[in-house]
A and B are shown apart, each in its own frame.
Chain A
Amino acid sequence: MATTTLTPAASAYRTGLYEWLTTTDHKRIGILYIVNSFIFFFIGGLFALGVRTELAQPGLQFVHDELLYNQLFTMHGTVMIFLFIIPMLVGFGNYVAPLQIGAPDMAFPRINALSFWMLPLAGVLLLMGFLTGGAAQAGWTSYSPLAQDRPLSSTGPGEDLWIMALTLIGTSSILGGINFLVTIFKMRAPGMTMFRMPILVWTVLVTSVLVVMATPVLTSALIMLFIDRNYGGHFFDPGGPNGGGGSAILWQNVFWFYSHPAVYIMVLPAMGMISEILPVFSRKPLFGYKAFVFATAGIGALGFSVWAHHMFTTGQVFLPFFSLMTFLIAVPTGVKMFNWIFTLFRGKLTFSTPLLFALGFLSMFLIGGINGAFSAAVPVDFALQDTYWVVAHLHYVLFGGSVFGVMAGLYYWFPKMTGRMLNETLGKIQFVLMFVGFNLTFFPMHQLGLAGMPRRIADYASDAGWNDLNLAATIGGFTIAASTLPLIWNVFSSLRAGKPAGDDPWEANTLEWATSSPPPPYNFDHLPEIRSERPLFDLRHGRTVVH
């Protein structure tokens, strides 16, 4: 085995604030991304609790100002997507991908630091809306003309701050995407051919291609919206007090041209993490490695031709084409699902917390994928679009999928990042609370949507028959909130007194486990020979030699 540290080398990571603020080490930047994203997860979660508290019963009890309610769900969606889940996955990619390909760092370490530091700045800008007369309130989709600067729509600086924040985050993503692409193409260790790369690296690669192709489209749309609002442009404004000429539908097209691929940006790396964890805890290789790579690339490619399935009810898109493409994208997703299951099949499963969360991912993402098929059937989507069904669907994918994946990844890589194990009992308590709370919150939303409850409303008629399901969802929301307490406790207590991890606590397969925990600057003293996608497995079972 490679280097072995007797005491966890945590001390290297406790050197001064200045070191953290100026670091260009991909591992520290990765940790910064992860910590920053968790902070925004809690902020976004508080907004969601505000929404759920208001909806617990009919009537306005909690958020008396309905404008504030609109700000809450807008900020919830925006924060969760742009400041939590996307950066969180970038953080894991940043930490793990260079290690997994045996590289000393990212290709452009300073640009890496720049990409990160744009995010807290963007977050502050975004939240400043609350202090300047109201944050953005047009939904995370910010449809025009509601996002225009006119009475009863989006007056005030909140929406402008939203635009600036998203432009910054977009720029950060583009820089990060290019950085990942160059790193993965140019900095692989000798022997690490493309088809020996860990699946996580493949998903980061495909995600980066999506980022580089799609994000500029969003960024330019944001600038056009800014011009509309501030300099009398008419890109997206068909009417209004000053006459029009713009198109409300155009905004939706460009917005979703980014934001649908963004859905894969939000989930592919989480799939990659699951694909690292399932083999390790079943003690088998990933079933169908190449099929998995092709399915990932297929999702990436098809992902650019389904954007208008968010616009079926606009009456302004060619429905059969987008319906067909949307149905087809289920195929590569299904391939992945079967590959994961057949990785478990005939394995020897150890139910540590990372595996529990990974199994949670499989089950919940399955529901999120299946209920997506309802929306692909266009006429059914006519019934479901913009109801709570969609809220259920998106959370089964983004929470049941991505967030469970992130939790699995956190329990899996925390020992590598800190040299300490997280506590298993606390991990299991967190898993049970989160799994139960998640389903209690979001499953009833399917039924609410079928019963006709629209999303984005602060109140509903008490005789509509939606009371019990809403109450259940609110109780579930607070259960999710409770599940974060064992997590926080676990992280802080394990940092101080967790069990030392050693280099390779899980008997894992990939290169990051061939160096110390945490790894030294520039990562490796020497690398094992790379003969397959599982160099450490080969090493452990004597199929290769250390140079």
Chain B
Amino acid sequence: MSTAPRSRPSSLAIAGWLVAAAFGIALAAWVVLNAGTIWNSFFPPQAKSVEGQEIRNLYDIVFIFAVVIFAVVEGLIIWSVIRYRRKPGDDELPPQTHGNNLAEITWTLIPTVIVLFLFVVSWQTLNSVEAVSPDPGLKVRAVAGQFQWSFDYLPTDATGDTKALFTVTAPVGPDGGLVLPAGQVTHLYLKSPDVIHAFYVPQFLFKRDVVPGLTNQFDLDIPASDAGQTYRGQCAELCGVGHRIMLFEVHALAQADFKAWMDKQIAAANATPPPAPSGAAAGPSIPLVAQNVKFDQSTLTVPATGFTIHYDNKDAGTPHDFVILDNAGSKVYGSPVVTGPKGADFPVPAIAAGTYKFECSIHPTLMFGTLTVQ
């Protein structure tokens, strides 16, 4: 090398080492203090479905191999770096080894065996995760559209396109979400009317794309012991501006509770629908346009004596509604859902003067504004 090795380290280098050492000690202390949390963060959440548990077991196997391989290879790197530094003034060439066929064969064969093993175990897990039960206890069609989920409950002899017994339209909340019986196998169909979405529940360690033009399906088996739990789900495939608000919940109910819930939903769906509210508009007509998942107004001023929202949804194929919330966030008024392109008049009864929030409950993060009642 052309530069002569320096005899004394510069003060900059010493300062650098001191800073590095301080950081190292702080980091080590922090790691020791939080060891449990850190360790857990290297694993997926505790699996809450039978399939998820199998995936978790597979993850643990892959994880062990990963850690061992990392330790061995990184150890070799670090050891070579520390052990084989060139000493100042040493101009002799090290032995010029060009290779070693035995070594090459070894580090071709051993990794081959390891990856074949991992392939076989993951294939086995795959087969059991992908297996579908011949007689699932329940069939549900999850429909993902920009940007909301809804869940069609199907008769047990259904195929993917059968008419629903009833539909849960609210993706979250106590009256909404995907309600499932714990301890029974549910068969899910996935449908999208627009773009690709993905059904993803972290605690099931599972996701499956919802692809327009075809129907994906899989089985979900929540153990009976998890009845009463709620899990968060979220769209996992970029689907446009509202992608991140495509949340949903999964409620696992004990089988008896589930049956009661199901019967109630079916009864409600079969009941004759209540007479449509009389079309007579109350009070002044306030225009409001929903377009590109935005309202054209961010503030509305209305009389306390009642008014009519003259609603125009210009988004083809996309449902919107109109909801008024008070300061505490509870619903003061909720309109029916309108799928565009379509207009509708929503007569709103008298409400107390004050300031409220209005929004589209399907796209609350994109479509909202302030409603002043005078």
Asked if B216 CB lies within 8 Å of chain A CBs, one says yes
Contacts of B310 in A (CB 8 A): none
Q: Are A344 and B107 in contact (CB under 8 A)?
A: no
The distance in angstroms between the C-alpha atoms of A238 and B12, with both chains bound, is: 63
Q: Are A502 and B2 in contact (CB under 8 A)?
A: yes
Q: Are B12 and A152 in contact (CB under 8 A)?
A: no
Q: Are A347 and B84 in contact (CB under 8 A)?
A: yes
Chain A, Cβ-Cβ closest to B103: A342
Q: Are B111 and A330 in contact (CB under 8 A)?
A: yes
Chain B, Cβ-Cβ closest to A389: B44
Asked if A146 CB lies within 8 Å of chain B CBs, one says yes
Q: Are B292 and A379 in contact (CB under 8 A)?
A: no
Q: Are B1 and A287 in contact (CB under 8 A)?
A: no
Asked if A385 CB lies within 8 Å of chain B CBs, one says yes
Total interface residues on A, CB under 8 Å, equals 96
The distance in angstroms between the C-alpha atoms of A446 and B44, with both chains bound, is: 10
Asked if A284 CB lies within 8 Å of chain B CBs, one says yes
Asked if A254 CB lies within 8 Å of chain B CBs, one says no
Contacts of B129 in A (CB 8 A): 379, 382
Of the candidates A246, A379, A450, the one having the most CB atoms from chain B within 10 angstroms of its own CB is A379
Q: Are A350 and B84 in contact (CB under 8 A)?
A: no
Query: Which 9 A-B pairs rank lowest in CB-CB distance, beginning with the nearest?
Result: A238-B213, A452-B202, A377-B122, A457-B244, A348-B86, A383-B205, A327-B115, A288-B99, A344-B80
Q: Chain B nearest CB: distance from A395 CB in Å?
A: 17
Asked if B18 CB lies within 8 Å of chain A CBs, one says no
Contacts of A520 in B (CB 8 A): none
Asked if A145 CB lies within 8 Å of chain B CBs, one says yes
Q: Can you list, as one digit per residue, whether each of B55-94 has a CB less than 8 Å from chain A (1) or not (0)?
A: 1001100110110011001101100110011110010111
Contacts of B92 in A (CB 8 A): 348
The distance in angstroms between the C-alpha atoms of A75 and B77, with both chains bound, is: 36
Q: Are A507 and B54 in contact (CB under 8 A)?
A: no
Asked if B140 CB lies within 8 Å of chain A CBs, one says no
Asked if B235 CB lies within 8 Å of chain A CBs, one says yes
Interchain CB contact (< 8 A) of A319 among B2, B85, B126, B209: B126
Seen from chain A, the residues whose Cβ lies within 8 Å of a Cβ on chain B are: 66-67, 70, 137-139, 143, 145-146, 151-153, 238-241, 244, 246-249, 282-285, 287-291, 313-316, 319-320, 323-324, 327-328, 330-331, 334-335, 337-339, 341-342, 344-351, 359, 362-363, 366-367, 370-371, 373-374, 376-380, 382-383, 385-387, 425, 432, 446-447, 450-452, 454, 456-460, 464, 469, 502, 505-507, 541
The distance in angstroms between the C-alpha atoms of A319 and B241, with both chains bound, is: 31
Asked if B226 CB lies within 8 Å of chain A CBs, one says no
Q: Are B103 and A349 in contact (CB under 8 A)?
A: no
Q: Chain B nearest CB: distance from A459 CB in Å?
A: 6
Contacts of A316 in B (CB 8 A): 211, 214, 216
Q: Can you list, as one digit per residue, whether each of B21-56 has a CB less than 8 Å from chain A (1) or not (0)?
A: 000000000000000000001111100000010110
Q: Are A291 and B115 in contact (CB under 8 A)?
A: no
Q: Chain B nearest CB: distance from A516 CB in Å?
A: 16
Asked if B155 CB lies within 8 Å of chain A CBs, one says no
| A454-B55 in contact given A282-B84, A344-B80 (Cβ < 8 Å) | no
Contacts of B99 in A (CB 8 A): 287-291, 339
Q: Chain B nearest CB: distance from A409 CB in Å?
A: 19
Q: Chain B nearest CB: distance from A384 CB in Å?
A: 8
Contacts of A348 in B (CB 8 A): 84-87, 90, 92-94
Asked if B287 CB lies within 8 Å of chain A CBs, one says no
The distance in angstroms between the C-alpha atoms of A70 and B121, with both chains bound, is: 38
Chain A, Cβ-Cβ closest to B204: A383
Q: Chain A nearest CB: distance from B295 CB in Å?
A: 15
Chain B, Cβ-Cβ closest to A428: B16
Q: Are B211 and A249 in contact (CB under 8 A)?
A: yes
Q: Are A285 and B111 in contact (CB under 8 A)?
A: no
Q: Are A379 and B108 in contact (CB under 8 A)?
A: no
Q: Chain A nearest CB: distance from B261 CB in Å?
A: 26
Asked if B300 CB lies within 8 Å of chain A CBs, one says no
The distance in angstroms between the C-alpha atoms of A137 and B111, with both chains bound, is: 40
The distance in angstroms between the C-alpha atoms of A341 and B72, with both chains bound, is: 12
Interchain CB contact (< 8 A) of B238 among A139, A285, A346: A139
Q: Chain A nearest CB: distance from B172 CB in Å?
A: 11
Q: Are B45 and A143 in contact (CB under 8 A)?
A: no
The distance in angstroms between the C-alpha atoms of A143 and B193, with both chains bound, is: 15
Of the candidates B69, B94, B207, the one having the most CB atoms from chain A within 10 angstroms of its own CB is B207
Q: Are B94 and A370 in contact (CB under 8 A)?
A: no
Asked if B366 CB lies within 8 Å of chain A CBs, one says yes
